[in-house]
Structure 1
């Protein structure tokens, strides 16, 4: 069986968001939830709960975003101060 990028779901305090998904993305999300349940043994009653870890994983592995975050959080170098 293929190893999924999303494993167990953390139980963190959520921030409520409302979004619309194309039907094809929703179908894939439901299928992914079934795959997670099958692989981890953890029931995924709401496929929407996969969205946050998927987004977190995507952002964590996006090199361009990582460079941008580092540049925004790093102190300025040089200058006459």
Structure 2
């Protein structure tokens, strides 16, 4: 079969506490997103994609991860 087995797609709920300043910045980011794309998204819906983009773009993390286990982390797990 050409298609490999699908990765685990079970959502993992993570509860965290934010500083008031960070919460305000995230709301500002959601406003900017709405201005840019013409679609309003809630902060809670944007955060997973923001974190994934941050990790995907962190060159030092990728290099460090590669040194530790010989792999490069990807957004697919």
TM range (shorter): 0.5 to 0.7
Higher helix proportion (structure 1 or 2): 2
SS class of match (1:43): coil
1:21-42 deviation per Cα after TM superposition (whole angstroms, max 9, x unaligned): 0001001101110110111122
Report how many residues are paired.
63
Partner residue in 2 for 1:57: 53
TM-score relative to the length of structure 2: 0.68
Q: CA RMSD in A?
A: 2.0
1:33-52 deviation per Cα after TM superposition (whole angstroms, max 9, x unaligned): 011011112221x2122221
User: Which one scores higher on RCO, CA 8 angstroms, separation ≥ 6?
Assistant: 1
